[in-house]
Chain A
């Protein structure tokens, strides 16, 4: 059982963002999606999470159709995600950002919580413990009471991943998790993500940072002009003449891509500093 894409197609008017993409993502592995800007990588993430609706094809998680369902239902089915531009609940504390995720399963008990304080006490304590545990996993416990928007940029990235994981998702979609991070933070991120590897978790990382992708991922999907160009292990991807020709081109282009990634980082980094 796994996450399966069948002939995914997303079209905006006459503009085709992804075309006939079919692949599958096995649990227990870290999957990378790479490709130049506009290749349709983020579109795949947004389609899976239900942020965009499909024009054609099917997305199946453990045999169940995900596409066409409401976004919150997809989340409840076990698909968690992070965003390219961090989207935390800025004015809520780091702890609350995680606690609120329990609404999906426990929102129905709200009135019982309001009217019966002992029940609320138990529920709150349990949610708090689970959320704190997750914060500790990401070394964020000292920020628990701080507003999410006031955290340093790098910590906001970590908090967003922690928020995605707090409900034990089946699928974790990371949309450029290293964007805006410095070298040191990227190394920390790589190490943390590697430790998240779990037999039941399907992890998909969209990323421009080639070093991160090549060292972290078990399998890589290469997108080009909305089409799936190649998939395989990092070594196979690096060795593939197709990929080199169409995506990496000559060795000069690798430097171009690295430079583009660096400038992208710098841009997002600026935003991060402004926010904090």
Chain B
């Protein structure tokens, strides 16, 4: 009896009506946003950049179980790549489509660079070393005045354009972000379900037993660091293109912590959870603008309440996209 229950619980799915309602609401929201005033579009853009960052960091934290607190460094790599290759800083004016692959490769390279020294570390030790890495990158950006403009950053970046279409106004950036988030979301979700995704889960569960079944934990972990850094770097490019200004101030430890919080609050290891977590952490401060001095207190309270009520996050791992899709098509 208990067995049958366990199995049916594993197969239970979201009710089709609810699944369709969620999907319809999402599509409607995405379709309506570009026609709202610019302020709202900017908030939506910022939200989507954080969703992108959350999707990326979730690979390392949620899938492979490695607590990375220096994630913002890869975001900075992408942003500064755009800033340097598309401004008067080095007098280079490359198009966005040329910068994206460059930033992606740089991001992946940096991800592996961080990954190699921390391969043997787990848990707290890993968190501390990655935190240091994030700070090192920020401080380098701050001090290499001749290249990065130092604390003043780099201003007056080129307007981005894709195949002759200018992408500079919030609504245009919005379109670029919707496409990027959807593509990244689908790819990462497929990655999660792939054989590599399962290997990541095995490493998260028991690293030593994972080696025992023939998983090369070194390459699997480096793959996790590289893919997540690539996504962060791409998010950074779009961020720089939308702000047309970068400075080290945007890449502080607080940003890394915010992204980790999004994942933990929304539901670790679950792409849907990240969307929810990002929505809460990005939209809440906007809604509660008048109480901005209370913001950190709100966050703290939210964390405490969640830890008590929903320790696995608002949308737990078990309620992932698979379940939503099964709900939609009743399969």
Give A residues with C-beta under 8 Å from B. Answer: 49-51, 70-72, 75-76, 80-81, 83, 87-93, 96, 99-107, 109-110, 113-115, 117, 120, 123, 127, 142-147, 150, 163-164, 167
Do B202 and A127 touch across chains, with their CB atoms under 8 A apart?
Answer: no
In this complex, the member of B196, B201, B217, B317 whose beta carbon has the largest number of chain A beta carbons within 10 angstroms is: B196
Interface string of B298-322 (1 = CB under 8 A from A): 0000000000000000000100000
Contact partners of A109 in chain B: CB under 8 A? 195
Which of A88, A102, A143 makes the CB contact (< 8 A) with B209? A88
Tell me the smallest distance from the CB of A98 to a CB of chain B, in Å.
9
Please give 15 more A-B residue pairs, beta carbons under 8 A apart, in addition to A145-B10, A163-B213.
A49-B212, A71-B208, A75-B213, A89-B205, A92-B201, A92-B205, A100-B202, A102-B195, A103-B214, A105-B214, A110-B195, A110-B223, A114-B194, A115-B187, A127-B195
Contact partners of B208 in chain A: CB under 8 A? 51, 71, 87
Interface string of B183-198 (1 = CB under 8 A from A): 0000100110011101
Complex Cα distance A100/B203, Å? Answer: 10
Kindly report which residue of chain A lies nearest to residue B223, judged by CB atoms: A110
Give B residues with C-beta under 8 Å from A. Answer: 3, 6-7, 10-11, 187, 190-191, 194-196, 198-199, 201-202, 205-206, 208-217, 219-220, 223, 317
Do B195 and A107 touch across chains, with their CB atoms under 8 A apart?
Answer: yes
Complex Cα distance A122/B98, Å? Answer: 35
Contact partners of A167 in chain B: CB under 8 A? 213-214
Contact partners of A163 in chain B: CB under 8 A? 213
Given the known inter-chain contacts A90-B205, A142-B3, please indicate yes or no for A72 contacting B214, CB distance below 8 A.
Answer: yes
Kindly report which residue of chain A lies nearest to residue B190, judged by CB atoms: A114
Do A123 and B3 touch across chains, with their CB atoms under 8 A apart?
Answer: no
Kindly report which residue of chain A lies nearest to residue B5, judged by CB atoms: A146
Tell me the smallest distance from the CB of A87 to a CB of chain B, in Å.
4
Given the known inter-chain contacts A89-B201, A92-B198, A113-B195, please indicate yes or no for A100 contacting B213, CB distance below 8 A.
Answer: yes
Kindly report which residue of chain B lies nearest to residue A97, judged by CB atoms: B202
Which of A76, A100, A107 makes the CB contact (< 8 A) with B201? A100
Do B211 and A146 touch across chains, with their CB atoms under 8 A apart?
Answer: no
Do A150 and B212 touch across chains, with their CB atoms under 8 A apart?
Answer: no
Complex Cα distance A127/B195, Å? Answer: 10
Complex Cα distance A261/B246, Å? Answer: 67
Tell me the smallest distance from the CB of B62 to a CB of chain A, in Å.
12
Tell me the smallest distance from the CB of B60 to a CB of chain A, in Å.
16
Do A104 and B212 touch across chains, with their CB atoms under 8 A apart?
Answer: no
Contact partners of B214 in chain A: CB under 8 A? 72, 75-76, 101, 103-105, 167
Contact partners of B205 in chain A: CB under 8 A? 88-92
Tell me the smallest distance from the CB of A156 to a CB of chain B, in Å.
13
Complex Cα distance A115/B191, Å? Answer: 9
Do B198 and A96 touch across chains, with their CB atoms under 8 A apart?
Answer: yes
Kindly report which residue of chain A lies nearest to residue B9, judged by CB atoms: A146
Do B196 and A107 touch across chains, with their CB atoms under 8 A apart?
Answer: yes
Contact partners of B191 in chain A: CB under 8 A? 110, 114
A-B interface, 7 closest residue pairs, ranked by CB to CB distance from nearest: A104-B214, A75-B214, A89-B205, A110-B196, A103-B199, A87-B209, A100-B198
Do B209 and A83 touch across chains, with their CB atoms under 8 A apart?
Answer: yes
Do B11 and A145 touch across chains, with their CB atoms under 8 A apart?
Answer: yes
Complex Cα distance A145/B6, Å? Answer: 8
Do A107 and B7 touch across chains, with their CB atoms under 8 A apart?
Answer: no
Given the known inter-chain contacts A72-B216, A143-B3, A145-B11, please indicate yes or no for A100 contacting B209, CB distance below 8 A.
Answer: no
11 A-B interface contacts by CB (under 8 A): A71-B212, A87-B208, A101-B214, A103-B195, A103-B198, A107-B215, A107-B220, A143-B3, A143-B6, A146-B10, A150-B6
Tell me the smallest distance from the CB of A262 to a CB of chain B, in Å.
27
Do A81 and B202 touch across chains, with their CB atoms under 8 A apart?
Answer: no
